[in-house]
A and B are shown apart, each in its own frame.
Chain A
Amino acid sequence: MKIGKTASTRINRLIVYIALILGSIIFILPFVWLVRSSFMELGQIFILPPEWIPKPFRWQNYPEALKAAPFFTYFLNTLKILIFNEAGVILTAITCAYSFSRLRWPGRDLVFAVLLTSMMLPYAVTLIPTFILWKILGGLNTFYPLTVPAWFGGGMFYVFLLRQFFFSIPYELDEAAYMDGANPLKVLWSIVVPLSKPAIITVAIFNFIGVWNDLLGPIIYLSDPDKYTLAIGLSVFRSMYTAQWHYLMAASVVVLLPVIIVFFIGQRYFIQGITLTGLKG
C-alpha cells in the first residue's frame, strides 16, 4: 500500500514535468523562430522544410535594419516620453496613495472608491474627447498628450497598488515622526518612501512596459515621422519592408529586448507586484 502510493506519486510528478516541459517548448518556440529568422539570409528563410540554424550567421541584419529607418530617433523619442511619464507617475502616484492610505480627511474613502471606477472604464470612451481637448490646446504632434496625463496620479491602478503596500507599514512610525514635529510630506519622504522601494520599483517597471508597448496613443497623437516612437516606427517599417522577414524580425527583436532586460532586472519585484494586485482585487 505504502509502496504503491509513492510509485503513483512518482508517476504523477513525471506527468507534471512532461506537461510543463512540453508547454514550455510550445511557448518558447515563437521566440526561437523570431531570433533564428533575424539572423538569416532572406534566401534561407524561404527554404522548405524550414531550417533552424542560420547559415551563414548574418548579424548584419541588425545594423542594416536599424539603418533602413531612423530607429535611433524613434528610440530617443520613446526615451523622452518614458522619462517624463515615469517621473509623473512615480511622483504623483506616491503622494496620492499616501494621502489615501495614511492621512485622514473627510470623504477620503468615498472619493477613493469613486476614482477607482475609472479602472473599469473602457479607454475608448474617453479617447475622442481627450483627443479633441489636445487639439484645442494645440498639443497634437507633441509629446504632451503622452506625458502630461501621467502627472495626475499616473492612473488609479498604480495608486491602488501603492496604497495596498502603504497599509502594511506600521502607523506608529508616522506617529513618532509627528511627535518630533515632522509634517506629512516629511513623513512620506523619510519613512514611507524608503520602506516602499519594492512597490515603487514595481510601479516603475509596470509603467515602463506600458509606455514602451503603447501603440494607440502614439498613432493618434504623433503624425510627424520625426516624432515617432519605436512602436509606431516598427509598424511603419513593416509597411515599407513587407516581405523582408529577416529585417522585420531583427527590428522586432530590438524593440523587444529592452522589455526583457528590464523584466530580468526587476523580476523579483515584478512577480511580487502582480501578486499584490491580484490577491486583494
Chain B
Amino acid sequence: MTKSKSLSNEAKWGIVLALPAILGFLIWTLGPMVASFILSFTDWNVVSTPHFIGIENFRKMFMEDFIFKKSIYATLYYTLGSVLSTVIFAFLIALLLNQKIKGLPIFRTIFYLPSITPAIASAMLWIWLFNPDFGLLNQLLGRFGIPRLQWIYDEKQVIPSLIFMSIWGMGGTMIIFLAGLQGIPQEFYEAVDMDGGNWWHKFRYITIPMMTPTIFFNLVMAIIGTFQVFTSAYIMTSGGPNYASMFYVYYIYLSAFRYGDMGYACALAVILFFIILSFTLVVFRSSPYWVYYESARRR
C-alpha cells in the first residue's frame, strides 16, 4: 500500500523534473519540424500571407534552380571528402598516440586544440593562410618548388582546400578514437603474441573489430555535422567562386534571410532532412555487416 503510493509520488516527481526536456522537444524540435514541412508547400515571404502552392517549391528546385544543384554537388563533395579524410586521419593519429608514448598529454592537446577554435577565428586564420600572394601555404609550397595554388579563390580548388582545412579540426574525432583504443583489453593482444602473431594480425583481428562501434559512431556524427557546414561558406567564400562552395545550409540561410523566401527555404530544409536521414539509414543498415558488438558486455 505504502509502496504503491510512494511509487506514484516518485512518478509525479519524475515527470515534473523531465518536463523541461519534454516541452523543449515539443516547442523547439517537433513543432518547428512540422511547421517546416507545412511551410514548404507555401510561397510565404514574411510580408504577405502564405498561399498553399502544392509542390511548386519542389518542382522549381529540381527543374529550374541550378544553384540548388550546385549546392547539392558542393555539399556532397565536401562531406564525402571531409568525413573520409577526417576519420582516417584521426584514426591514424589516435593509433600513434596509443603506442604508450611519452608526452601523450602534450601531443593530445596540440592535435585537439584546433577543433575547439571558434569557427569564426579559424575561418579568419585560414583566409590568411590561403592568401595566394602572402599566405603561409603558398610560401611553403614555393620552398619545395611547387607552383602556387589559388586555394579558395579557384572554382576547382575551393572544395579540396576546405577539406584540407577540415582535417585540421579532426581533434574531437581523434579523442573518441583514442578512448576506444585505450578500452581494448590488453589480454587480447597478449593472446595474439602467444599464438605467434605479428602487429598486422593484432591490427586486423583485434584493433579493427574492437573499434568498429567507435568508427560507426564517429562516421554517423561526422556525416550529420559536415552536411551542415555553414561558417566557411559564410565567412570565407560567400559560396563562390561561381557557386562552387555554395554549401546547402548557407543556401538555406540565403533563401530565408537574404531573399526572404521562407517557403522555398523550408522546402530546401525538408530535402536536407531526407538526404541526411537516408545517409544515416544507409550507415545504420550497413552496420550489421561490419560493426562488431560484444553483446555480452552491453548491459
Query: 1/0 per position for B167-202, CB-CB distance to A under 8 A?
Result: 010001001100110010000000000000000000
Query: 1/0 per position for B104-138, CB-CB distance to A under 8 A?
Result: 00011111011011111100111011000010100
Partner of A220, one of B119, B139, B257: B257
Q: Could you tell me how many residues of chain A have their Cβ less than 8 Å away from some Cβ of chain B?
A: 90
Partner of A126, one of B28, B93, B218, B280: B28
B118 contact set on A, CB distance < 8 A: 212-213, 231, 255-256, 259
Tell me whether A252 and B124 are in contact (CB under 8 A): yes
| Residues of chain A from 141 to 189 with CB closer than 8 A to chain B in the complex | 149, 151-153, 156, 159, 178, 183-185, 188
B13 contact set on A, CB distance < 8 A: 99, 103, 183-185
Contact A159 B124, CB 8 Å, known A27-B168, A118-B29, A209-B116: no
Tell me whether B107 and A99 are in contact (CB under 8 A): no
B228 contact set on A, CB distance < 8 A: 122-124
A19 within 8 Å of B by Cβ?
yes
B88 within 8 Å of A by Cβ?
no
In the complex, A267→B170 CA distance in Å?
Answer: 17
Partner of A30, one of B126, B179, B227, B234: B126
Candidate in A34, A92, A125, A256 with the most chain B CB atoms within 10 angstroms: A125
In the complex, A263→B262 CA distance in Å?
Answer: 39
In the complex, A122→B5 CA distance in Å?
Answer: 42
Q: What is the CB-to-nearest-CB distance from A132 to chain B, in angstroms, rounded to a whole number?
A: 7
A260 contact set on B, CB distance < 8 A: 113, 116
Contact A29 B136, CB 8 Å, known A99-B18, A125-B273: yes
Tell me whether B21 and A159 are in contact (CB under 8 A): yes
Tell me whether B32 and A126 are in contact (CB under 8 A): yes
Q: What is the CB-to-nearest-CB distance from A257 to chain B, in angstroms, rounded to a whole number?
A: 10
A50 within 8 Å of B by Cβ?
yes
SS class of chain B's interface: helix, strand, loop or mixed?
A: helix
A34 contact set on B, CB distance < 8 A: 125, 128
Add 12 more A-B contacts to A125-B272, A128-B262 (CB < 8 A): A30-B168, A37-B128, A50-B136, A96-B18, A124-B252, A125-B33, A128-B36, A128-B252, A188-B17, A216-B230, A255-B121, A274-B176
Chain B residues in contact with chain A, CB under 8 A? 6-7, 10-15, 17-18, 20-25, 27-29, 31-33, 35-36, 39, 46, 93, 96-97, 99, 101, 107-111, 113-114, 116-121, 124-126, 128-129, 134, 136, 139, 142-143, 168, 172, 175-176, 179-180, 183, 213-214, 217-218, 221, 224, 227-228, 230-231, 234-235, 248-249, 252-253, 256-257, 262, 265-266, 269-270, 272-273, 276, 280
Chain A residues in contact with chain B, CB under 8 A? 13, 16-17, 19-20, 23-24, 27-31, 33-34, 37, 45-46, 48-50, 92, 95-96, 98-100, 103-106, 108, 111, 114-115, 118, 120-133, 135, 149, 151-153, 156, 159, 178, 183-185, 188, 209, 212-213, 215-216, 219-220, 231, 234-235, 238, 245, 248-249, 252-253, 255-256, 259-260, 263, 267, 271, 274-275, 277-279, 281
